[in-house]
Structure 1
C-alpha cells in the first residue's frame, strides 16, 4: 500500500518535518520562510523509502536548510527522491550567508541497483552562501545555480561542495559571480560540468574536480569546465581509465587574464583538452599511464604550458 503524505508549512522562525517509518513512499514536504536566522529541517529517512519530495523556499539572511532523504542503516533503500531548494532575493533586500545541506543516500549494496535516480536542485541568489550535496549509489543528479539579486548580477564568495559515490552520476554547477569555491568529488563513470562567469566576467573563482575509478570495467569519467574571467584556478584529478578533461577559459576575441588550470590523469586512454583565450595564463597537464593525449591551445601573450606524460603512445598537440 502506498503511503502518501503532504505537508505544507510557512514559517518565520523554525520548521521541522520528520517522516520516519519502516517503509514509506511518496511523501512531500513544502516549507517557505521569509526573514533571518531561520532553520528548515526535512527528514524523509524510511529504511525502504522512495519517491519523496522535499521543497524549501527561503528568503533572508543567515538561514539554514537541511534535507535528509536516506537511511544509513544496513541494507536500506532510497531511490527516486527529489530535493528542491530556492534561496531567493526580493526587491530591496538580499539573501546571504545561508547554509544548505542535502543528503540522499542509503546502504543497499550496489549490485541491487536500488539506490538510483535521486535529484537535488539548488538555486541561490546572493553572497557568502554554502551549499553541500551528498548522494550515494547510481544515476543521481545534482544541480546548483548561484547568481545575484533576483537572478541577475553576481553572487559572490559562495561555497559549493558535491559528493557523489556510485555510477552514472551527473553534477552541474553554474555560477555568475566572483571568489566562489566549487568542489566536486565523484567515482566511476560520472560527469561533472562547471560554468562560471560574472556580470561581465567571473573573477578569482576556484574549481576542484576529483574523479576516481571503481571496480566496474570500462568506467569513464568526464569533467567539463567553462570559465570567462580573470585569476581563476581550475584543478581536475582523474584516476582510472577512459577519462576526459575539457577546460575552456575565455571568449573568442575577449581576453581572460592570469588564469591557471592543472589536470592530473592516472590510468589508461586519458584525454585532456585545454583552450585559453587571453594573456598571462598557465596550463599544467600530467598524465601517467597508456594512450594519453593532451591538447593545449593558448591564444594571447605571455602564456605558459607544461605537459608531462609517462606512458605508451602518448601525444601532445
Structure 2
C-alpha cells in the first residue's frame, strides 16, 4: 500500500528540482511483467513520474501546456491509470494498490490539483477539471467495485469523495464558482448524486447498505445529510438562494424530501425507525420547517409559501 504523504513528498521534491530547468522531464520505473507506460509531453517544464510494480499495469500520461506535474504509482496487477493535462501549473497524483482498478484524470485551464487513491479491486474513478480552473479534488477508494465520477467546471471548486466498502457510487458535478462538497460512503451499494451551481456547500455521509441521496443546489445553498442504516432515501432540491437543508436518517426504508425554491429558508428532517416519509416544501422567504419522526410508517408534510 502506498503512503499518501510519501507520494506527495516525492512529487513535490521532483517538482522543485524541475523548477530549476526549462526542459521537461519524464521518469518511468517498471518491475514485473507485461507493464505498459506511455508518456507524451509537449510545451515546457513538464514533469511526469510513472512507477509500476506488479503485472499487466497500464500507465499513461499526456501533458501539453506548461509547468504541469503528474505522478502515477501502481502496485498490483492489471491496474489502469490515464492522466491528461492540457493546462498550466496543474498537479495530478494517482496511486493504485490492488488489482484491476481504473483511474482517469483530465485537467484543462490552470492551477488544478487532483489526487486519486485506490486500494482494493475493481474500483473506478473519473475526474474532470475544466472551466476557469483553480479546482481541487481528492478521491479515496478502499474496497471492491466502487465508482466515483467528479466533474468540475467554473472556477475554484473543491470536492472530496471517500468510499469504503463495495459497489458504492458517487457522482458529483460542480458547474459554477466556489462550491465545496464532501461525500463519504462506508458500506455497500450506497448511491450519492450531487449537483452544485454557485457557492454551494454539501456534506453527505452514508453508513450502511443501499442508501441513496440526491442534492441539487442553486446559489449560496447548504445541505447536510446523514444516513445510517439500510435503504433510506433523501432528496434535496435547492433552486432558490441562500437556503439551508438538513436530513438525518437512522433506520430502514425512510424517505425524506426537501424542496426550497425561495430564499434564506431552513428545513430540518430527522427520522429514526422504519418506513417514515417526510416532505418539506418552501417557496417563500425566511421560513423555518422542522419534522421529527420516531417509529414506523409515519407521514408528515410541511408547505410554506
Q: Tell me which interval the TM-score lies in, with the shorter structure as reference length.
A: 0.3 to 0.5
| Structure ranking higher in strand proportion | 2
TM-score (norm 1): 0.40
TM-score (norm 2): 0.41
| Higher RCO, 1 vs 2 (CA within 8 Å, ≥6 residues apart) | 1
